[in-house]
Amino acid sequence: MSAAKNTAFALVDCNNFYASCEKLFRPDLKHTPIVVLSNNDGCIVARSKEAKALGIKMGVPVFQVQDALRKHGIVCFSSNYALYADMSNRVMTTLEEEAPRLEIYSIDEAFMDLTGVERVTDLLAFGQRVKAKVDKWTGITVGVGIAPTKTLAKLANHAAKKYPATGSVVDLMNPDRQKRLLALVDVGDVWGVGRRTTAKLKAKGIHTAWDLANANAKVMRSEFSVVMERTIRELNGVSCLDLEWVRPTKQQIICSRSFGHKVTDKRELGEAIAKYMTRAAEKLRSEQRCCRVVSVFIRTSPFIPNEPQYSASLTVELPNPTDDTRDLLAVAERIFHRLYRAGYRYAKGGVMLADFYEPGTVQQDFLCVDSTKTNSKALMGVMDKINRSGMGQVFFASQGVSPQWAMKREHLSPAYTTKWDDLPKVW
């Protein structure tokens, strides 16, 4: 085996991100418990620290905790993606200035490659500076975990959040400190160890991260998978997961939603599918890809077991890859006609695109009439531009004008940072 590299990573993670974004623009709620809800106002997906302290759990359906929300005066927000995405961009831009090799891992966290940085500056001080800068420039508070591997950096970040005495920045480069922390951490809190695996590990007497770090990597690989072997090595300070600072291109695009109410009407359901396909096509073009494989699915709600259940999906391979909304809508409609069965109350539907190509790199199927519309690129370009500009919307009639099935978003905050009309006002 080659000599271990002296790697160093930082994981920067925004605290209670969605809830923090909402509070930024509502100083009146500074110390009020708030929660952010999933699409359709269905589940709790983010909680402010006050809401956490009141015992509101992550992921629970709102209706199950309605009483608690009311009793404690917890303020609810529907999720406001435009706001969170914009705030995320601001945070990431700030981080990039400190460490150009940045992997944006999710909307609220990023890995930094700090390899070699300790020769220039103290890593703890570096982390503290990053935290202070993000706080000052964006108003978002972050935790920073620094360690020789990504998995250990995750654990360092976990500690930074859990123990206030750390000031939300933990440097875990030192092996003795690693050992002490690993012994304190439940194995289920290790990155990559989910619910299923946790149960299996505990049955084998592996309870802490330290227990896992000391398991035999080869044996565990045969019993679990190569992912497990990697996790064990990473816990021991051997970096197996590189920084992916160039975003890999997507393998698939999914657009799906639960409906605001159950849908029975065929036209209405078809409009929803058309809407999702339109959105998926936009995402496809923003990736600068064409796709060959298209799937559509519709289903009833598994949460109402005494109602007749129906769930169906169908996948079609196109003769030629396309990124034209019109082609994709036509395919979606054909598939939908074959899937639809009357007499069910549909709860959710969606589309999936896969098998991507760079435009123009694929030999056209010459047995098939070339369906490439000559004005396709120009038309799609103009549509995308108008729809992005905030000036209004252009879309195809098949998605319907005033949809009944639209999402429930009863507690939506204004688009403070992305819409002129919604700019916060200071009196």
Partner DNA sequence: TCTGGGGTCCTAGGACCC
Pick from 43, 314, 379, 406: which binds DNA (CB under 7 A)? 43
Binding flag, residue 106, DNA (CB under 7 A): yes
User: How far is residue 143's CA from residue 156's CA, in Å, rounded to a whole number?
Assistant: 9
User: How far is residue 405's CA from residue 100's CA, in Å, rounded to a whole number?
Assistant: 43
Residue type, 357: Y
Taking the CA atoms of residue 161, residue 165, residue 168 and residue 170 in that order, the dihedral angle to the nearest 10 degrees is -100
Neighbours of 84 (CB within 10 A): 21
Q: How far is the CB of 100 from DNA (least distance, A)?
A: 22
Q: How far is the CB of 262 from DNA (least distance, A)?
A: 6
Contact range with DNA by CB under 7 A, out of 103-111, 116-124, 264-272, 367-375? 103-111
Q: How far is the CB of 259 from DNA (least distance, A)?
A: 8
Pick from 119, 136, 196, 267: which binds DNA (CB under 7 A)? 196
40: left (phi over 0), alpha (psi -120 to 50) or beta: left
Contact range with DNA by CB under 7 A, out of 2-10, 86-94, 106-114, 203-211? 106-114
Taking residues 55 to 94 in sequence order and writing x for each that binds DNA by CB under 7 A, - otherwise, the string is ----x-xxx-------------------------------
Binding flag, residue 247, DNA (CB under 7 A): no
Please report, for residues 33, 80, 185, 320, 359, the alpha-carbon distance to residue 18 in angstroms, rounded to integers and kept in the order given. 13, 8, 26, 41, 36
Binding flag, residue 109, DNA (CB under 7 A): yes
Contact 10, 146 (CB under 8 A): yes
Q: How far is the CB of 349 from DNA (least distance, A)?
A: 9
Binding flag, residue 205, DNA (CB under 7 A): no
Pick from 101, 262, 326, 377: which binds DNA (CB under 7 A)? 262
Binding flag, residue 42, DNA (CB under 7 A): yes
Binding flag, residue 364, DNA (CB under 7 A): no
414's CB contacts (< 8 A; 6+ apart) are 25, 422, 424
- Where do we find the tokens 């896992």? 212
Binding flag, residue 207, DNA (CB under 7 A): no
Give the residue from 112, 397, 87 showing the smallest Cα distance to 267.
397
Taking residues 281 to 320 in sequence order and writing x for each that binds DNA by CB under 7 A, - otherwise, the string is --x-----------------x-xx----------------
231: left (phi over 0), alpha (psi -120 to 50) or beta: alpha
- Residues lying near DNA in the complex (CB under 7 A): 38-40, 42-43, 45, 59, 61-63, 105-109, 154, 190-198, 221, 225-227, 248, 250-258, 261-262, 283, 301, 303-304, 347-348, 350
